[in-house]
Amino acid sequence: MSRTTGASRAEPLRRPPRLAPGARVAVVAPSGPVPEERLQAGLDVLRGWDLDPVAAPHVLDRHDEFGYLAGGDADRAADLQAAWCDPAVDAVICARGGYGAQRMADLLDWPAMRAAGPKVFVGFSDITALHEAFAARLGLVTLHGPMAAGVDFLKNARAQEHLKATLFTPESVRTLVSDGTALVPGRARGVTLGGCLALLAAGLGTPHTRISAHGGLVCLEDVGEEPYRLDRYLTQLSRAGWFDGVSGLLLGSWTQCGPYEKVRALLTDRLGGLGVPVAEQFGFGHCDGALTVPFGVTAELDAGAGTLTLDEPALS
């Protein structure tokens, strides 16, 4: 197994082309099993955007022994690779998260996917493992955003509209605004990266991941983790030096992670000493109306004002 890892500093990545009406979008399931009714509803939403969505062959599979997986590792990897390498496909959107992306990441033919050229990739939660891999191995901007069979995507207009704008008119959503205040005020510039905290911690020392967030504006969120677990993940990343040299931090949702005042105190304790701006409640992750955040673009964080402003649109 290759132990290839990414650079030790976050650098701007190549932006894929934006979507146009009629673009073909492949929906894949790299992680957990997908309810058919939710998949069909998600495909209908995408058709309503004048896109041409196609479901990957194994998107509705369920592993024979491990029911938390959407089919076998090889099949999930084959679906993602085939979609990515198909010249007729303009974007790949994950159906849902759960667990399983790490299990299939090493089965992908990364040189072949790199040769296929840039296209849009969307997902969050367990898909954090693939955001890291796409950055390290393909050098591409990816979108941390709602997934095609996700409840929030299906039922929340804000989540739908922000993703749609990012895909079709990304210049219209170059500034994201927080609903909270600054844990640590200040301004910072850097390259966006991050995702689900538990997955970032789990990725330390594994193939296809960056060894450091140096120079990055790190976006963090999680779901269903008690404060002591969040403490453990943050402490692990800190002890590994992953936070060394970060420019700033943006905090998203912490749904079902305990009373927010306790989570907030923990985040302040673990991150406040880094000496960089930290802004909270940026509305991405496992929350109602989740915003789409591009990873791999240079941006400016104003923690006091609660804004993240991209230097250029997420997609070209």
pLDDT of residue 3 exceeding 80: no
Q: Which of 242, 127, 170, 131 shows the shortest CA–CA distance to 18? A: 170
| Cβ(76)–Cβ(6) below 8 Å | no
Residue type, 44: D
Residue with tokens 């009714």: 37
pLDDT tens digits along 43-53: 999 999 999 99
Q: What's the Cα-to-Cα distance from 125 to each of 24, 122, 168, rounded to whole Å?
A: 24, 11, 23
Would you say 154 and 212 are in contact if contact means Cβ atoms under 8 Å apart?
Answer: no
Note if 2 is an active site residue: no
Give pLDDT tens digits for 273-314: 999 999 999 999 999 999 999 999 999 999 999 999 999 999
pLDDT band for position 5 (cuts 50, 70, 90): very low
Whether 186 shows a pLDDT value over 60: the answer reads yes
Can 178 be counted among the known catalytic residues? no
pLDDT in tens, 193-240: 999 999 999 999 999 999 999 999 999 999 999 999 999 999 999 999
pLDDT at residue 152, as a whole number = 87
pLDDT at 1 over 80: no
**pTM check: above 0.75:** yes
221 counts as catalytic: yes
The active-site residue, picked from 58, 162, 214, 286, is 286
Q: Tell me the average pLDDT of the chain.
A: 96
Read off φ and ψ for residue 216, nearest 5 degrees: -100, 150
pLDDT tens digits, one per residue of 74-113:
999 999 999 999 999 999 999 999 999 999 999 999 999 9
Which residue in 31, 58, 125, 280 is the catalytic one? 125
Res. 246: pLDDT tops 70? yes
Distance CA 219, CA 280 (A): 10
Mean pLDDT confidence for 140-146? 98
3-state secondary structure (DSSP) of residue 29: coil
Q: Cβ of 66: how many Cβ atoms within 10 Å?
A: 14
Taking residue 20's Cβ as centre, other Cβ atoms within 10 Å add up to 11
Q: Are 211 and 5 in contact (CB under 8 A)?
A: yes
Which of 31, 162, 208, 221 does the annotation list as catalytic? 221
What pLDDT does 180 receive? 87
Instruction: Report the alpha-carbon distance of residue 247 to residue 278 in Å, rounded.
Output: 9
